[in-house]
């Protein structure tokens, strides 16, 4: 069994100074290839050079990507460019992109394909809102979000189950809710698909989340900005 994955999503936080202070702490801890850091575009090259210089196995990822390969798309960043600066993975379809930037599952599916074309691993995010959960349609929503990837071999991407009501709220899903949804996603795709949980994972609940059946890792937002807390989470990965 591969080690559980821990991906840190810095979102639109950080600075050169913060990269220079946090990354060395992660390097000192000797983290392996099961850990990834997704910093904002401008900091990818710096983070990569620090990881490479230390010959670290920690992976580098981006938080989004353009669905197109090349061309007159001002402001966009292609998957090929991300590969060029040393990224190994891309978070696609994050709930914040869906909520604040109107990203649809169809767009996300094109981004997944563009990511694969560049030889990178897409980490495709799915999850329901609180209203959808209360209406009893959480599984239908997840099924719809997964449906757009029909035809893409399930071994080529990972899924992050991130209920939007748990992302950045401090209220993580319960172990029972996580277990149920991970089982559903694996049943829908393939039992071997890597499914990560994301949503208010912190140092003090990481062990409980990572112990849930069917959890192959975690996608961590806010808690990834503190080296101490992120390391606590990484150390719980089995």
The C-alpha atoms of residue 58 and residue 8 are separated, in whole angstroms, by 11
Q: Is 68 exposed, middle or buried (0-12, 13-18, 19+ CB in 10 A)?
A: middle
87 touches ligand PEP (CB under 6 A): no
Q: Which of 60, 87, 201, 227 binds ligand PEP (CB under 6 A)?
A: 201
Which of 103, 145, 162, 216: binder of ligand PEP (CB under 6 A)?
A: 162
**Applying CB under 6 A, which of residues 198, 203, 214, 217 lies at the interface with ligand PEP?**
198
* Active site (annotated) includes residue 94: yes
222 is in an annotated binding site: yes
Judged by CB under 6 A, which stretch of 20-28, 151-159, 195-203, 230-238 contacts ligand PEP?
A: 195-203
User: Whole-angstrom Cα distance, residue 41 to residue 5?
Assistant: 22
Asked if residue 200 binds ligand PEP (CB under 6 A), the reply is: yes
Is residue 223 a contact partner of residue 12, using CB atoms and an 8 Å limit?
A: no
Q: Under the criterion CB under 6 A, does residue 168 sit at the interface with ligand PEP?
A: yes
- Name the minimum Å distance from CB 22 to ligand PEP: 16
| 163 burial via Cβ count (<10 Å: 0-12, 13-18, 19+) | buried
To the query of whether residue 235 is one of the catalytic residues in this protein, the response is: no
Look up residue 173 and give its DSSP letter: P
Dist CA 114 CA 120 (whole Å): 9
Q: Which is nearer to ligand PEP, 187 or 235 (CB)?
A: 235
221 is in an annotated binding site: yes
Name, in order, each residue with C-beta under 8 angstroms of 180's C-beta and a sequence gap of 6 or more: none
Check residue 93 and give left, alpha or beta (phi > 0: left; psi -120 to 50: alpha). left
Q: Is 145 in the site for ligand PEP (CB under 6 A)?
A: no
CA dist 41 and 200 (Å) reads 23
The yes or no reply on residue 14 touching ligand PEP (CB under 6 A) is no
CB of 200 to ligand PEP, least distance (A): 4
CB of 168 to ligand PEP, least distance (A): 4
Specify binding-site residues for substrate.
9-11, 168, 200, 221-222
């Amino acid at each position: 069994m591969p080690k559980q994955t821990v991906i840190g999503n810095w979102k639109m936080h950080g600075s050169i100074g913060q990269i220079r202070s946090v990354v060395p702490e992660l390097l000192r801890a000797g983290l392996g290839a099961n850990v990834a850091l997704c910093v904002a575009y401008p900091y990818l090259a710096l983070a990569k050079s620090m990881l490479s210089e230390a010959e670290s196995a920690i992976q580098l990822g981006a938080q989004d990507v353009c669905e197109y390969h090349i061309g007159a798309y001002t402001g966009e960043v292609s998957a090929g460019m991300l590969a060029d600066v040393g990224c190994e993975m891309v978070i696609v379809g994050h709930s914040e992109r869906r909520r604040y930037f109107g990203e649809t599952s169809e767009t996300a599916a094109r981004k997944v394909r563009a990511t694969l074309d560049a030889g990178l691993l897409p980490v495709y995010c799915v999850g329901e809102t609180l209203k959808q959960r209360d209406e009893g349609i959480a599984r239908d929503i997840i099924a719809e979000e997964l449906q757009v990837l029909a035809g893409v071999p399930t071994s080529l991407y990972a899924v992050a189950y991130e209920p939007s009501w748990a992302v950045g709220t401090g209220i993580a899903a319960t172990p029972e809710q996580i277990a149920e949804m991970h089982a559903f996603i694996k049943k829908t795709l393939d039992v071997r698909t890597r499914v990560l949980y994301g949503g208010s994972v912190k140092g003090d609940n990481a062990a409980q989340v990572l112990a849930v059946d069917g959890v192959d890792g975690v996608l961590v937002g806010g808690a990834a900005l503190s080296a101490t807390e992120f390391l606590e989470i990484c150390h719980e990965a089995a």
